[in-house]
Amino acid sequence: MSNVKKRIRKSDAASASQDAQPVEFRSREERLAAGKLLREKVPRSSHAGWTPSASRRDPIDVLEESNKEQDRLPELVPIRYGRMLRSPFTFLRGSAGLMAYDLATTPNTGIQVQACGDCHLLNFGLFATPERNLVFDINDFDETLPAPWEWDIKRLAASFAVAARDMRFNDEEAQAAAVGCAQAYREHLRDYSKMNPMEVWYDRLDAETLIAMAPDEKIRKTRQRLADKAHERIVDHLFPKIAAPVGGRHRLIDQPPILFHMPGKEYEERMHDGLNAYRQTISDERRVLFDRYRLEDYAMKVVGIGSVGTRCMVALFFSAENHPLLLQIKEACPSVLEPYAGKSRYDNHAQRVVMGQRLMQASSDIFLGWSRSNVGRDFFVRQLRDMKMSAPIGEGFTNQQLNLYAELCGWTLARAHARSGDAATISGYLGKTDNFDLAIGEFALAYADQTERDHAALVEAVNSGRVKALIEEEE
């Protein structure tokens, strides 16, 4: 047995810069104490506030550089900027790389977890498990990478402060949401530190539990409506809206510049080669299921804000009896965390995304897999909109709803981090008081100010002609 442990630890040490740090074989009490000692090196109060350094780079330069580094399609970049222009909150959503640059300058304890990397409040939501249950979890992992746990909670808390201001809540209310998010993270992480690894791994927050937890009848009904609506967001309801019969076949309907076909036979060859490579990354039994469908059509589809300009496609399949299947094929670029947290252990960035998702999520899509095109681009594959539903943040969202949602997101992030990291050591550092929570509340509000300044810089860059933006009509 001792030789086995030695081999395990040697392997862990060799990949320490690539993987979330392994939990050491010490008692929970010892790890709690070790975390508590970290406060001497990194006081919890040191996480409060945000002051950019005098050498902070111009935010527009950082955004422009990301367009080049990720080889975004230049004709789609104006759509990215147009979506970021709408508000400071949409700017925050589209600028994960800029915030990663800032977070790398903030204090951290040196404890790594599998980080989401783009942990904002709209990257959480409802979706279907393979058993067709509806769960609430993180749902975007394009930037996932082993990194300091603090980076995720700081970005998440800041997103609540920025969104609260967007919804015309005052700064006291905005800060309270950020504090509540951090408090839920701290308290639930301590709970997870008391569980055995299997209990943590199997834990999940399903829609039925969310509805039952509602503090009053009005919120219970709201959550029930969201769950009912999520159950309707399936391929059978979606594909008739984006496809139509043409010449005896179903074809995706062009809606340029948001949905469009790529001309040229080389794209068809790349698609078939890529799907064959993807097929090898899913398990044997799911390969049998995938083989029951044939590719009918595919097209480029612009999605999100931060992903605009990267290559993302939707592929329409049918079974022999014409049952539809929609898959999203999304390009994976290097994580925005890489310059600060180190390169991924995976050569294929789509594999990085898939493995990070499987590690952080309680349950993942059965068709989740990856591929590499014959021109060297990495893509991951998943079902498109399989009961996926985000919180209806915006007009009509009450302060109570915002606070409850902040707590749910903090709780969910704690579980995701507990799956890959040392919950006891982090919990020992965080403690039982609200010192860390209050510090994160201060940081969130200060970074909301920074986001507003950066958003204003983008507005100025567009007005001056430095960058181009395409403003789409609001639906």
What pLDDT is recorded for position 475? Answer: 53
pTM of the model: 0.93
DSSP 471: P
Assess if residue 171 is contained within a domain.
yes
Alpha-carbon distance 460 to 274, whole Å? 41
What pLDDT is recorded for position 234? Answer: 80
What pLDDT is recorded for position 474? Answer: 64
User: Helices in 205-256 by DSSP H: which ranges?
Assistant: 207-213, 217-232, 235-242
Same-domain status, 167 and 297: no
What pLDDT is recorded for position 51? Answer: 95
Question: What is the separation of C-alpha 255 from the centre of its chain, rounded to a whole number of angstroms?
Answer: 26
Domain-terminating residue out of 353, 383, 413: 383
Same-domain status, 150 and 253: no
Assess if residue 160 is contained within a domain.
yes
Same-domain status, 443 and 294: no
Same-domain status, 250 and 133: no
Assess if residue 12 is contained within a domain.
no
Assess if residue 10 is contained within a domain.
no
Same-domain status, 158 and 103: yes
Assess if residue 240 is contained within a domain.
yes
Residues in the chain: 475
Q: Which residue numbers in the chain have pLDDT < 70?
A: 1-24, 474-475
Residue 125 contacts by C-beta under 8 Å, 6 or more apart in sequence?
A: 136, 137, 139, 388, 389, 390, 391
Assess if residue 13 is contained within a domain.
no
What pLDDT is recorded for position 396? Answer: 85
Domain-terminating residue out of 383, 410, 425: 383
Domain-terminating residue out of 355, 383, 411: 383
Helix (H) or strand (E) holding 423: helix 423-430
- Long-range CB pairs of 282-289, under 8 A, 24+ apart, other chains included: 282/367, 282/368, 282/369, 286/366, 286/367, 289/366
Question: What is the separation of C-alpha 282 from the centre of its chain, rounded to a whole number of angstroms?
Answer: 22
Same-domain status, 81 and 189: yes
Assess if residue 431 is contained within a domain.
yes
Q: Supply φ then ψ for residue 133, to 5 degrees.
A: -90, 155
Tokens of residue 434, six digits:
């609200």
**pLDDT tens track for 435-470:** 999 999 999 999 999 999 999 999 999 999 999 999
Region of residue 409 (left: phi > 0; alpha: psi -120 to 50; beta: else): alpha
User: Helices in 125-215 by DSSP H: which ranges?
Assistant: 149-166, 171-194, 197-202, 207-213
What pLDDT is recorded for position 261? Answer: 93
Same-domain status, 242 and 220: no
Same-domain status, 357 and 406: no
Can you give the residue range of the structural domain that contains 273?
232-383
Same-domain status, 217 and 256: no
Same-domain status, 223 and 244: no
Same-domain status, 174 and 248: no
Number of domains in the chain: 2
Assess if residue 9 is contained within a domain.
no
Same-domain status, 373 and 407: no
